[in-house]
Amino acid sequence: MLEAYRLGGSLYVPVTHKDCLSIANGRKWPELRSVIFCTEDAVAAEALGPALDNLRHFLDKMRPSSETLRFVRVRNPEILGWLLDLPGIDKLDGFVLPKLDMSNIDAYMDQLGGSRRRYHCMPTLETRDVFDPARMTELRDYIIERGYQDQILALRIGGNDLLALLGIRRPRDRTLYRTPLGLTIANLVTVFKPHGFQLTAPVLEHIDCPEILEEELGEDLAHGLCGKTAIHPDQLPLIDSRFRVSPSDLEAAQRILDDDRAVFKFGGSMCELATHSAWAEHIVGRAAMGR
């Protein structure tokens, strides 16, 4: 689903934030490609009531549409049901579904399937099951069998929650791929992507480590991920620039699709229609979307 590449850097914003409305309406950070207003981990339990009141208030005053993709990260299936009944909820593009696994997927997806409009959803993979490829395969097959895949814009990899299950906080001097999650991310890619799912990359919570962010973005791209969570607007320009299709990749992709030779050399690399055409179609499609 190439549309997932519109996400770019997805900025998490607690629904308690004083600027939620101006962010949602594109006045603050107008270049923001996607925003996720969070009712879950970013909101303390005792602050949930006022947070939901704030969400109700700014939904009412949000513009009907925006260049920024707008999502709400729900806290649980009950909060999703409450949100779906709110006036103005149809101004959102969709919902992020935390800690999705076989125990709660129907509770989430049945509500979305029965809603008045079709919302995108982004389930977050961040439970113990993520470490078990067999459980992820079971989840993938269930999603396909139930017809849920069409509503899933992308699967989000919840890096910090997964590290928390291991009792680890990511170091400041290395990318996530040099922790135990490197293998986990690779497994998720090979389980889900061959079946048409897109996955987004976890956040880097160390805001003052741009060199690590740049290195990690290279790994994200090498793993075929389609966007990355950001927790600070300073991270967005680098994320968005790295996910933009480079002129050299676009030219290579166009030559692969247009050349009538089965194999040829371009830019110091072998280009082969049989093995590289899927990549080339993907690159040309992303470039057409402005990515």
Q: How many CB atoms sit inside 10 A of residue 245's CB?
A: 19
Residue 53 assigned ligand-binding role? no
Nearest to 226 by CA among 23, 33, 46, 21: 33
Dihedral angle computed from the Cα positions of residues 209, 212, 218 and 224, in that order, rounded to the nearest 10 degrees: -80
Q: Residues at the annotated binding site?
A: 161
Q: Which residue ranges are tagged as binding site for Mg(2+)?
A: 161
